[in-house]
Amino acid sequence: MNADAALRLRGLPRDVRLRDAHASAAGIGLWVFMGVVTALFSLFTVAYVMRMSSGDAVALALPWQLWLSSALLVAGSVALEAASRRVDPARMRRLLLAGGLCAAGFLGVQLWAWAAMAHAQVLPAGNPSGSFFYLLTAMHGLHLAGGLVGWAMAARVAWADPARAGWRIALCARYWHFMLAVWLALFALLGWVTPEVARVLCGTA
């Protein structure tokens, strides 16, 4: 924090100063966490490409449910972004609720996609493609479920004291945008990186 910002904070009421300090610390913590998650999924991506370049790897036919879950995640991200910009408490709450419901729906449809894959005899231990499909979607789902915990905390504050919920909703929206970007990257990875493409990327074609 620079000197000008510190002087501005001194002129604010104590509760506002504490709120700004908490928001700043939470924002920095979220950026650090997203950096760690990015590194984790980057390592998974490299491992997936390397494994798909092997001779026993086969391309997956992804279930159509993944398109539906992607649409739900996009809708949730848009709703939370809109909620973070709303001043009207009633409208903000409705948008916040819509974002959480879309995220919960995303997780439900992902489980539906798992059931569809299992019905097609694509199992976690069946082949490298199937193993990574379950691993990557499960890891993403766990991170989104963790985000729902943060969403629930923001929603509780939004219903009790909307004036204090703004920065919490903004952080939720940021995390949802991040989860959407990670999911789109994973979806593209699973759908487009076939064994042939992986061998070209690894220089073994």
Identify the CATH number of the domain defined by range 3-202.
1.20.120.80
Domain ranges of the chain: 3-202
Residue 144 in contact with residue 108, Cβ under 8 Å? Answer: no
For the chain, how are helix, strand and coil distributed in percent, rounded to 5? 85, 0, 15
pLDDT tens, position by position, for the chain (205 residues)? 444 444 344 444 444 444 567 778 888 999 999 999 999 999 999 999 999 888 788 888 899 999 999 999 999 999 999 998 877 889 999 999 999 999 999 999 999 999 999 999 888 887 888 899 999 999 999 999 999 999 999 999 999 888 888 889 999 999 999 999 999 999 999 999 888 888 888 887 6
* C-alpha to C-alpha distances, 147 to 104, 131, 184, nearest whole angstrom: 10, 25, 17
Phi-psi region at 121: left, alpha or beta (left = phi > 0; alpha = psi -120 to 50): left
CA 157 to CA 41: how far, in whole Å?
Answer: 31
Token duo for residue 48 = 């997936």
Q: Burial level of 124, CB count in 10 A (0-12/13-18/19+)?
A: middle
Q: How far apart are CA 85 and CA 27, in angstroms?
A: 17
d(CA 115, CA 110) in angstroms, rounded, equals 9
